[in-house]
């Protein structure tokens, strides 16, 4: 499976981006975490604005693992599976953060242009 196919597993079908749940899960496993800790961390880093339920979490973790973006770590506790982002996962996440930052800048720029246009129109009246 090449990188394009791997990323396709994680993309929203209608948009060229990581889904929000996949994004937050990858952020969460920059440090090794088990499932429940991932759900807690997502809620913590999003200030409660975003949550991931167990079904979504484990479905996406399997996809992330299949795409070699997340690895299941060996542990002595069979009841708790611990996951960590791979180097490839960290690389994809860095690219996604840059892409999302550009999107925010585009939005700010659009509002700035609108503000300038409205200000200009008021002067013309």
4 is a domain residue: no
- Name residue, tokens 């809620």: 43
**H-helix or E-strand containing 9?**
helix 3-10
Q: Grade residue 11 by pLDDT with cuts at 50, 70 and 90.
A: low
20 is a domain residue: yes
- Whether the per-residue pLDDT at 9 is higher than 70: the answer is no
The pTM for the full model equals: 0.79
Q: Grade residue 102 by pLDDT with cuts at 50, 70 and 90.
A: very high
Q: Grade residue 122 by pLDDT with cuts at 50, 70 and 90.
A: confident
The CATH number of residue 28's host domain is 1.10.10.10
50 is a domain residue: yes
2 is a domain residue: no
99 is a domain residue: yes
9 is a domain residue: no
- Whether the per-residue pLDDT at 1 is higher than 80: the answer is no
Average pLDDT taken over every residue of the chain: 87
More confident of the two residues 54 and 75: 54
10 is a domain residue: no
Mean local confidence (pLDDT), 19-47: 96
d(Cα 101, Cα 78) in Å, to the nearest integer?
A: 39
Q: What is the pLDDT of residue 97?
A: 94
Domain range for 92 is 16-124
User: Number of structural domains, the chain?
Assistant: 1
More confident of the two residues 2 and 102: 102
Give Cα separations from 80 to 37, 43, 102, 119 (angstroms): 10, 20, 37, 58
7 is a domain residue: no
């Amino acid at each position: 499976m090449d990188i394009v196919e791997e990323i396709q597993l994680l993309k929203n079908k209608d948009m060229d981006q990581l889904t929000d749940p996949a994004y937050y899960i990858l952020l969460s496993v920059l440090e090794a975490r088990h499932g429940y800790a991932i759900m807690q961390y997502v809620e913590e880093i999003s200030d409660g604005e975003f949550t991931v339920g167990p079904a979504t979490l484990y479905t996406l973790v399997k996809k992330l693992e299949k795409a070699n973006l997340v690895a299941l770590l060996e542990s002595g506790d069979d009841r708790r599976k611990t996951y960590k982002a791979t180097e490839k996962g960290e690389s994809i996440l860095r690219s996604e953060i840059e892409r999302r930052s550009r999107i925010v800048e585009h939005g700010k720029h659009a509002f700035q242009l609108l503000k300038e246009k409205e200000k200009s129109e008021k002067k013309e009246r």
